[in-house]
Structure 1
């Protein structure tokens, strides 16, 4: 170790700040990381890259490439599911969009329960019954059934057959934050510019 050069000190300081910001973000999103290990794997890769790289540069410069390679692998395994052989787009959507108010613009007629009900349909192409939605959201079947009818009326869900609902294209656009769920049906006036 020859000493701390200004460039190495700068890299280390920036790495520490970024790592602290990332850890702070993860502490705020404890519910996200508690059930989604891939978020923690990706975060570990990022922390290793921003802290491990500069530290390895100071302590053992010959290991810098190994540290960065390991960090890159952790990030890749956090973003990619080798078992299903696909990128974890649905899981990351759910992990990053857990706070609907940050991206969605609900209509005046909507309740906070509606986002959770629609979230049960998101990322699946399944037709779900009120009982299944109630079980997965923790609301009563009676409340869920009432909201499913309302969401169908506003074209966010469609009734596939008696007692079975599926997310519509409009509902998917709403969940992605591309549509304000206004009082009408499938019109383009709610699309953000």
Structure 2
């Protein structure tokens, strides 16, 4: 075996990157994979294809097609339910399209409206006024203003100037489900990390 060709190097590099991304996804979604084995089967097939294919091409070229066939079968069995003889549409929709608020851990002081307000900031990535947030969430400007003051006090948004707010990094972490909020008590109203 002489040196690696640029094409094989590229395939290996892309395969490793994609495999690492898939494994990172699994580590973030541990609760999903714990009770939905079809996700693991599908991801296993994808990892086998993206890592096993280029590796087999390098060390055992005659096995590449067999390896890709096995990977394709794993992906098919992850997407298709042979018992029900149907595609796992509902199961995959539940995994991929579920409400991200389920993984968040709101503090005791938070209301369901806070998730909508923070999501508006997240999707816009701009400095917004209470009126604009109210228009995009369907809540009254007065309610939104009250909640923005509370969210500012707890570090999830920050007041840029009078009547204008933006999302903080803490707010971004909360929306991604990476922030553990601490329940507030009467003498401790600050939940900043």
**TM-score interval (norm. to shorter):** 0.5 to 0.7
Q: What secondary structure, in the 3-state scheme, does the structure 2 residue paired with 1:53 have? A: helix
TM-score scaled by length of structure 2:
0.52
Q: Structure 1 regions of 5+ residues with no counterpart?
A: 103-109, 113-179, 184-193
TM-score scaled by length of structure 1:
0.52
Matching of residues 9-88 of structure 1 within 5 Å: 9-88=9-88
CA positional deviation for 1:182: 5.6
Aligned mates of 1:34, 1:86 — CA distance in 2? 22
Post-superposition CA distance 1:128-157 (Å, at most 9, x none): xxxxxxxxxxxxxxxxxxxxxxxxxxxxxx
* Residue of structure 1 in register with 2:100 after alignment: 100
Q: For residues 11 and 84 of structure 1, do their structure 2 counterparts lie closer, same or farther at Cα, with a shift above 3 Å needed? A: same
Q: What secondary structure, in the 3-state scheme, does the structure 1 residue paired with 2:4 have? A: coil
Q: What secondary structure, in the 3-state scheme, does the structure 1 residue paired with 2:78 have? A: helix
The two structures, once aligned, show a CA RMSD in angstroms of 2.3
Aligned residues: 109
Aligned mates of 1:98, 1:26 — CA distance in 2? 16
Q: Structure 2 regions of 5+ residues with no counterpart?
A: 103-110, 114-135, 140-193
* Largest Rg, 1 or 2: 2
User: After TM superposition, what 4+ stretches of structure 1 lie above 3 angstroms from structure 2?
Assistant: 98-102, 180-183
CA positional deviation for 1:5: 1.1
